[in-house]
């Protein structure tokens, strides 16, 4: 079996929370060798999880080095001498003061892909400011649209800025830099900021807003729960069903399955949306989640159950393609993307 497209690629990353270890996991799944430099005295993985329970630490070679000492910094320099990628997850200026900045390491190793991974960017007015996923979402304009209109915005866990934006865009930048290196023979210095990446993810929202198709009023738009055909509904047993019937054919299938006359149910008349939401809430509350799953089984209406993290690995759609794999006796998400079978 192939070891992956990045087999033979070595990545050295300084231990840190957030997107850097997640990006390391993605690069590992693509075949790269990951070496993480830990601080002395730490016997845990990242984010306080024991290493054996942290999927981001599996298959990672951990090296302990005190970067405040000459010996520790020499450990990093020796590792970088044989590395293709180096990831710095600290605030701007920290590694430079340690003598491990790009001016030093890239000068000694011109083919190195050097990555600064920060929240606000390696430069800019807030470069030195502390922050977390929720803060980057808030300032980038991605937090305000979330949640019900009569409540404060709800953070989508830490999935968006940390992982969906920061970690994924880090990997995209590294892959592009490695590809460019094959043509130029030279590495690169990347400035990956979670706020930049989150803003990039909101491109469609800004396009819709410019076209007059998006309002800054929360829960009044198609994708923020305002549309009755794109939101979740509680079932009789306390579960939830997710409805994403945007396209006309899916919307028609939704109405047909629920026994609603489409003649009196215009899809895009926003003045009717509040009443339609209330009616769909009443209908879905009349049956259990299992009953609605059965009703929509085989119906192309984009209606699915809302599963807990504990339920997801056992769902037939995911189990049939081994989306989750066994990791020491517990289910864990498998690598993605994967090569298709021909």
Is 328 contained in some domain?
no
Contacts (Cβ under 8 Å, ≥6 apart) of 135 = 119
Domain count, the chain: 2
Residues 17, 41: contact at Cβ < 8 Å?
no
Q: Are residues 181 and 44 in the same domain?
A: yes
Instruction: Give the model's pLDDT for residue 58.
Output: 80
> Pick the catalytic residue: 132, 144, 191, 315?
132
In CATH, what number is assigned to the domain containing residue 294? Answer: 3.30.1540.10
Q: What is the DSSP track for 90-148?
A: SPTTHHHHTT-SHHHHHHH-TT-EEEEEESS-SSSTTTT----HHHHHHHHTSSTT-S-
Instruction: Give the model's pLDDT for residue 340.
Output: 86
Task: Report in angstroms the alpha-carbon separations of 210 from 141, 230, 268, 292, 296.
Answer: 15, 22, 19, 38, 36
Strand partners for 14: 37
Q: Are residues 193 and 279 in the same domain?
A: no
Q: What's the maximum distance between 2 C-alpha atoms anywhere in the chain?
A: 76
Q: Are residues 177 and 249 in the same domain?
A: no
Is 87 contained in some domain?
yes
> Tens digit of pLDDT for each residue in 291-329?
999 999 999 999 999 999 999 999 999 999 999 999 888
- Catalytic residue flag (residue 116): no
Closest C-alpha among 66, 108, 46, 116 to residue 88: 116
Residues 185, 111: contact at Cβ < 8 Å?
yes
Residues 12, 85: contact at Cβ < 8 Å?
yes
Residues 158, 133: contact at Cβ < 8 Å?
yes
Is 332 contained in some domain?
no
pTM above 0.75, yes or no: yes
> Pick the catalytic residue: 29, 54, 162, 196?
162
Q: Are residues 192 and 291 in the same domain?
A: no
- Catalytic residue flag (residue 162): yes
> Tens digit of pLDDT for each residue in 112-151?
999 999 999 999 999 999 999 999 999 999 999 999 999 9
Q: Are residues 270 and 189 in the same domain?
A: no
Q: Are residues 193 and 240 in the same domain?
A: no
């Amino acid at each position: 079996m192939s070891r992956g497209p990045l087999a033979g690629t070595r990545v050295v990353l300084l231990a840190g929370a957030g997107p850097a270890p997640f990006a390391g996991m993605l690069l590992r799944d693509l075949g790269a060798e990951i070496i993480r430099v830990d601080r002395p005295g730490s016997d845990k993985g990242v984010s306080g999880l024991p290493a054996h329970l942290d999927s981001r630490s599996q298959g990672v070679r951990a090296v302990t080095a005190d970067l405040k000492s000459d010996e520790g910094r020499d450990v990093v320099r020796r590792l970088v001498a044989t590395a293709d990628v180096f990831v710095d997850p600290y605030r701007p200026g920290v590694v430079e003061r340690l003598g491990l900045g790009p001016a030093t390491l890239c000068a000694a190793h011109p083919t190195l892909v050097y990555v600064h991974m920060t929240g606000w960017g390696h430069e800019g007015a807030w470069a030195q400011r502390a922050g977390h996923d929720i803060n980057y979402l808030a300032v980038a304009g991605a937090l305000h649209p979330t949640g019900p209109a009569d409540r404060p915005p709800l953070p989508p866990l830490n999935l968006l800025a940390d992982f969906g934006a920061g970690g994924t865009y880090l990997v995209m930048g590294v892959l592009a830099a490695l590809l460019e290196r094959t043509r130029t023979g030279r590495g690169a210095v990347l400035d990956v900021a979670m706020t930049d990446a989150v803003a990039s993810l909101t491109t469609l929202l800004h396009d819709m807003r410019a076209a007059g198709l998006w309002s800054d009023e929360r829960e009044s738009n198609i994708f923020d729960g305002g549309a009755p055909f794109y939101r979740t509904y509680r079932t009789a047993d306390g579960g939830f069903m997710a409805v994403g019937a945007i396209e006309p054919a899916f919307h028609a299938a939704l109405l047909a399955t629920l026994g609603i006359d489409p003649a009196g149910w215009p899809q895009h008349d926003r003045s009717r949306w509040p009443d339609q939401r209330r009616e769909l809430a009443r209908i879905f509350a009349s049956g259990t989640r299992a009953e609605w799953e059965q009703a929509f089984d085989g119906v192309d209406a984009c209606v699915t159950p809302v599963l807990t993290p504990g339920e997801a690995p056992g769902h037939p759609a995911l189990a049939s393609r081994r989306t989750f794999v066994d990791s020491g006796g517990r289910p864990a998400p498998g690598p993605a993307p994967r090569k298709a079978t021909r």
